[in-house]
Chains A and B, each alone.
Chain A
Amino acid sequence: MSETAKMRVFRGDAESGDWQDYEVETEEGQVVLDVIHTIQATEAPDLAVRWNCKAGKCGSCSAEINGEPRLMCMTRMNLYEPGEQITVAPMKTWPLIRDLVTDVSFNYEVAKTIPTFKPRAPEADGTYRMMQEDIERGQEFRKCIECFLCQNVCHVIRDHPENKPDFAGPRFFVRLAELEMHPLDTEDRLELARQDAGVGYCNITKCCTEVCPEEIHITDNAIIPLKERVADRYFDPIRWLGSKLFGRG
């Protein structure tokens, strides 16, 4: 059974823009991205929208739907009341290119600053062995699809863009935690986490966890453990005293 959806989509760029209203016939089971495509196909062929897999795995179609950061392809239309006006806006934290497309290159630049996996020397037979229990924490983090919704919703940079040079953001705390917890890795990234990545800026209000489409427990399983590891190193007077007395912490 088809219904008419009332869509309000942002059209414009960083210099100027406006809301544009569309009334679109929808079919049962459609998602917001389907409706955006219908608008493209019928009324606004120049509507800019980034998308790829339409299956919640490529992380391309992030947007703010009724003000909530979401993947358009994973947001079903029946979440909303019939006749309810649905606003679709670009992610707020990144520079707007046009319409619903933003420039997320900040994230790629941050990614370059994180030292990659550096394994210890292989065992005598030239192989590495890991037990499942040692790597399953990291497997949760590997689900990340880099949609950057967590980065977008984080108020540290969303409301304070001046913090961008000093704050890596939740996605990269997930990456840092994954590498730091890896049983084979030998690189030390705690100084990076504390200083350049600015894990101390996070006040754990958990918005990153709330918006994650992969339901990664970003705050509980990545950021807080990272904060605790930083506390081990830098905010633990007992360990500090031990390092002074015995040369180790």
Chain B
Amino acid sequence: MAQAVAAPLRRGFLTTLRQDRWWVEPALVFVSLSLFFGWLTVSIIMDFGPMGHYEVEGTHLLTPVFEPTWLSMINADWEGAWYLSPGFIVLIGPVPFRATCYYYRRAYYRSYFLSPPACAVGDVGPTYKGESTFPLIMQNLHRYVMYVAVVFVPLLWIGAIRSMYVPGEGWGFGIGSALLLVNAFLLMMYTFSCHSLRHFVGGGLNCFSCSAFTRARKRVWDYVSIWNENHRFWAWSSLLVIVTVDVYIRLVANGHITDPNTWSHF
């Protein structure tokens, strides 16, 4: 039967003619991001309670959220004056990197800002200026946090390899180390598939063929472009795995479970 007059022309929040379940994706993203980042928020300050230990005693099996533990050194120097959780280290690189990431922007603009919640579904708010004004114009800083995030890639690999060495017992291998290696790989791929990195390595050039240097940059750009096509996959898989590894190592470190490994004693 006939509906309201001129329905296709009507605007407003959630107004749409779509008949599919367009709300499923933003709802899933909302729940998943809330769970993962909610846990990580708790984790970076949680060095107390039944899950408080973040490193397995006597080993280098350390949750990647606290890698590297540079802030512990600051705490040691300034003992008694003030305290920073070593987990705060993620606030200088990995967290702002994800917060300003082009993929995560798409995800949270849709799921949290509802701007718009889905394609051809009315967005929220009477006015819209996007990233042209403060505060969202600050998203242009993505390239700077990318530079910092790149530093974390070798640090995570070093942490993963170091976890395979137990002082006094030598080299070995366990599920915890395997998870740390997977985590380092996924985080590397997430970082190396970044849109800003893609621009940095060669995307800003107009002439790839002009010199040996620009041809070399073109080859790097080609690789980053391939990885960039799956940036969403790397974003989600690295997030899922870092949370999984963090929970796993805390369970081991706090004596709730045992890590199957070649040393077979924790």
Instruction: Assess A228 versus B196: contact at CB under 8 Å? Given A16-B5, A90-B8.
Output: yes
Q: Determine whether the beta carbon of A16 is less than 8 Å from that of B6.
A: yes
Stretch with Cβ within 8 A of B (4 or more), from A40-48, A51-59, A109-117, A229-237: A229-237
Shortest Cβ distance from residue B71 to the other chain A in the assembled complex, whole angstroms: 26
Q: Determine whether the beta carbon of B120 is less than 8 Å from that of A68.
A: yes
* B73 contacts chain A at the CB level, 8 A cutoff: no
Q: Determine whether the beta carbon of A67 is less than 8 Å from that of B195.
A: no
Residue from A12, A180, A210 within 8 A of B6 (CB atoms)? A12
A39→B266 CA distance, assembly (Å): 74
How many A residues touch B, CB cutoff 8 Å? 58
Interfacial chain A residues near B204, Cβ < 8 Å: 225, 228-229, 232
* A106 contacts chain B at the CB level, 8 A cutoff: no
Q: Determine whether the beta carbon of A134 is less than 8 Å from that of B209.
A: yes
Residue from B1, B3, B5, B195 within 8 A of A224 (CB atoms)? B195
Shortest Cβ distance from residue B101 to the other chain A in the assembled complex, whole angstroms: 10
How many B residues touch A, CB cutoff 8 Å? 51
8 Å CB interface, A125-148 against B: 131, 133-134
A239→B88 CA distance, assembly (Å): 30
Residue from B17, B110, B196, B206 within 8 A of A182 (CB atoms)? B206
Q: Determine whether the beta carbon of A64 is less than 8 Å from that of B143.
A: no
* Binary contact readout B140-159 vs A (1 if CB under 8 angstroms, 0 otherwise): 11110000000000000000
* Binary contact readout B90-118 vs A (1 if CB under 8 angstroms, 0 otherwise): 00000000000010011001100101100
Instruction: Assess A200 versus B9: contact at CB under 8 Å? Given A131-B209, A153-B119, A159-B122.
Output: no
* A14 contacts chain B at the CB level, 8 A cutoff: yes
Q: Determine whether the beta carbon of A67 is less than 8 Å from that of B207.
A: no
Q: Determine whether the beta carbon of A134 is less than 8 Å from that of B17.
A: no
Q: Determine whether the beta carbon of B17 is less than 8 Å from that of A87.
A: yes
* B2 contacts chain A at the CB level, 8 A cutoff: yes
Stretch with Cβ within 8 A of A (4 or more), from B30-38, B129-137, B166-174: B129-137
Instruction: Assess A89 versus B17: contact at CB under 8 Å? Given A203-B109, A235-B140.
Output: yes
* A198 contacts chain B at the CB level, 8 A cutoff: yes
Interfacial chain B residues near A220, Cβ < 8 Å: 195, 228-229
Q: Determine whether the beta carbon of B17 is less than 8 Å from that of A206.
A: no
Instruction: Assess A67 versus B115: contact at CB under 8 Å? Given A10-B8, A160-B128, A203-B130.
Output: no
Shortest Cβ distance from residue A170 to the other chain B in the assembled complex, whole angstroms: 12
Interfacial chain A residues near B206, Cβ < 8 Å: 134, 180-183, 185
Q: Which residue from chain B places its CB closest to the CB of A87 in the assembled complex? A: B17
Residue from A20, A160, A182, A204 within 8 A of B106 (CB atoms)? A204
* A155 contacts chain B at the CB level, 8 A cutoff: yes
Interfacial chain B residues near A230, Cβ < 8 Å: 140
Other contacts beyond A155-B116, A200-B133, A228-B143: 14, CB < 8 A: A21-B1, A64-B17, A64-B120, A66-B19, A159-B122, A183-B206, A201-B128, A201-B130, A203-B109, A204-B102, A205-B110, A228-B199, A229-B204, A231-B143
A-B contact pairs, 23 of them (CB 8 A): A12-B6, A16-B6, A18-B3, A19-B7, A21-B1, A66-B18, A90-B8, A96-B9, A133-B218, A134-B206, A158-B120, A159-B128, A183-B209, A200-B133, A203-B105, A203-B130, A203-B131, A204-B102, A205-B109, A205-B115, A220-B229, A228-B196, A235-B140
> B-side interface residues toward A, CB under 8 Å?
1-3, 5-9, 11, 16-20, 102, 105-106, 109-110, 113, 115-116, 119-120, 122-123, 127-133, 136-137, 140-143, 195-196, 199, 203-204, 206-209, 218, 228-229
